[in-house]
Amino acid sequence: MELSTFIALTPQLVLATGTVFALILIAWQRSQQLLALFTQGILLLALIASIASLGDGQSMVTILLKVDDYSRYAFILVLIASLVVVQLSKTMLRRDIEVHDEYYVLLLLVALGAGVLVASDHFASLFLGFELLSIALVGLVGYLRSTAYAVETSFKYLILSATASSFMLLGIAFIYAQTGQLSFSGLAGITNAANVSDTGVLGQSLLYQLGFILFFSGIAFKLSLVPFHFWTPDVYQGSPTPITLLLATVSKVAMFVVLLKCCFNAAQIDVFQQSALADVIASIAILSMIVGNTLALKQSSIKRLLGYSSIAHMGYLLIVLMVSTTGGINFAWQSVLFYLSAYLLATISLFTVLALFEAGNPIEHRLGSDIKIDDWQGMFWQKPMLASLIIIAILSLAGIPLTAGFIGKFYLISFASQQQLWGLLVSLIIGSGIALAYYLPIIFSLFRESNKESAADAAVNTQTLTWSTLSFNQLFVVVLTILGLGLGLFPNSLSQLIASLSL
């Protein structure tokens, strides 16, 4: 390998090397605090390497991996979310007498799997990253085995994840049988099994269409798209809060980015236009927008509500797969990356509050507490900074003006208008309208006073939520609040950064 190849893969190599040294560290000295700090250090080094390499352009690393600025930016989002998960995990595990060595190793493996996915340019590397991510997550979702839903959650995620992997493998086999290609770049010069370079013939091939639908089904499972969404609310509710954040951010960012890398080539766009695949994806997008938002209406659990909400948000993003010309690919990438940035910031903000709130109720937390909307009742009068962070995050997810989420939806609306996707555009607007019916009651609850002592009142005197002494968690809440306000009021800085990236 050339030196440039190693430089392009530096963030992934840092994570892989860090995972090995984490195992050595465990064998040398079992210290949860030491391993947590080591994990944060490794993730921070990988983040610095990713930021430093922005602007380096494309770099082909063998036939399996291709690193470009879009994948680097996506990996930056993954690493930021992973760092937050480690910090929240330290707060969660601090009260447990067990030494949770394997927990942080699994976190590193999840981040590494996501790093392989965002850099994939081949179905083989995609599947390796998919499995690395999935197997590590299976262990993490049921990690707090003393909680009420731990076994059910991990078992359900394991079975359904294995099923999704099977569908994906069968789909890849069908695609290879029809095209003779496993490389995404190779699909740009696609040929059918008879070596006839004709995307029209391929678009009419039932074997290829079936293969792509099966492959897409495996991706749709991770993205919680309808009708592959049934696991989402249960796993969100039963997982430890930091792991739910991992599922909602790292997993979804990595899977969506690799889906775009697979689909965004001239041949695949032509196939979409000459087959029923575009109609299938559009139908899944519309169903995800409407069903996800509708099912969230009656939820009282914050985690379950955010699970159904994530279904709708992934449905919104699916609009960009309907690009009809190669000239629209760059704008599609910019729309996705900005929307993912806004979604990531809002989701991190909400789960940070959830984790800190749970830390204020340690007895309930050990029993597997499930925070309800009513538990946040009156929080604004007790903890205005936490409540302000919730308000900013909720408004951003709802797409209210002067928030980052509004700019992200504006990108999608502009894209849908340019591509004349009127059905998807109407579904996005209707879905966003339905979402207001369950987002706004959360904000109203923050201001509503209660006659009984709520969990928010009971948590006032806990060390984690005490603002008399400045802790890292409190400083982090302030930073998230400033970022949420700043990105909504001044989105041009992020928009220009993403626009400067290129394939």
Give the pLDDT of residue 466: 42
Query: What percentage of the chain exceeds 70 in pLDDT?
Result: 87
Q: Distance between CA atoms of 139 and 103, rounded to whole angstroms?
A: 8
Mean pLDDT of 386-398: 94
Give the pLDDT of residue 465: 42
Mean pLDDT estimate for the chain: 85
Give the pLDDT of residue 191: 43
Alpha carbon 133 to chain centroid, angstroms? 12
**Contact (Cβ atoms closer than 8 angstroms) between residue 344 and residue 253:** yes
311 Cβ contact partners less than 8 Å away, ≥ 6 residues apart:
224, 225, 226, 229, 232, 288, 291, 292, 295
Q: Distance between CA atoms of 393 and 238, rounded to whole angstroms?
A: 23
Per-residue pLDDT tens for 178-199?
888 888 877 766 644 444 445 5
Q: Distance between CA atoms of 88 and 91, rounded to whole angstroms?
A: 5
Per-residue pLDDT tens for 293-332?
999 998 989 999 999 999 999 999 999 988 867 778 888 9
Higher pLDDT pick, 461 / 225:
225
Kindly tell me if the per-residue pLDDT of 81 is higher than 80.
Answer: yes
Q: What backbone phi and psi angles, to 5 degrees, belong to 35?
A: -70, -35
Q: Distance between CA atoms of 116 and 104, rounded to whole angstroms?
A: 19
**Contact (Cβ atoms closer than 8 angstroms) between residue 79 and residue 11:** yes
**Contact (Cβ atoms closer than 8 angstroms) between residue 296 and residue 305:** yes
| Burial of 31 per CB tally in 10 Å (0-12, 13-18, 19+) | middle
> Rounded to two decimals, what is the model's pTM?
0.91
Give the pLDDT of residue 135: 92
- Among residues 139, 126, 136, 113, the alpha carbon closest in space to that of 165 is found at 126
Q: Strand 65-67 vs strand 59-61: parallel, antiparallel, or unpaired?
A: antiparallel
Q: What is the CA radius of gyration of the chain?
A: 22
Kindly tell me if the per-residue pLDDT of 116 is higher than 80.
Answer: yes
Handedness of CA 488, 489, 492, 494 (dihedral sign): negative
**Contact (Cβ atoms closer than 8 angstroms) between residue 154 and residue 240:** no
State the pLDDT confidence band at 458, using cuts at 50, 70 and 90.
very low
Cα dihedral 193, 196, 199, 202 in deg (nearest 10):
-30
Kindly tell me if the per-residue pLDDT of 98 is higher than 80.
Answer: no
Q: What backbone phi and psi angles, to 5 degrees, belong to 122?
A: -155, 145
Kindly tell me if the per-residue pLDDT of 200 is higher than 80.
Answer: no
Mean pLDDT of 106-110: 95
State the pLDDT confidence band at 113, using cuts at 50, 70 and 90.
very high
Kindly tell me if the per-residue pLDDT of 364 is higher than 80.
Answer: no
Kindly tell me if the per-residue pLDDT of 367 is higher than 70.
Answer: no
Q: Distance between CA atoms of 28 and 54, rounded to whole angstroms?
A: 36
Q: Is 484 helix (H, G, I), strand (E, B) or coil?
A: helix
Give the pLDDT of residue 41: 95
Mean pLDDT of 205-213: 87
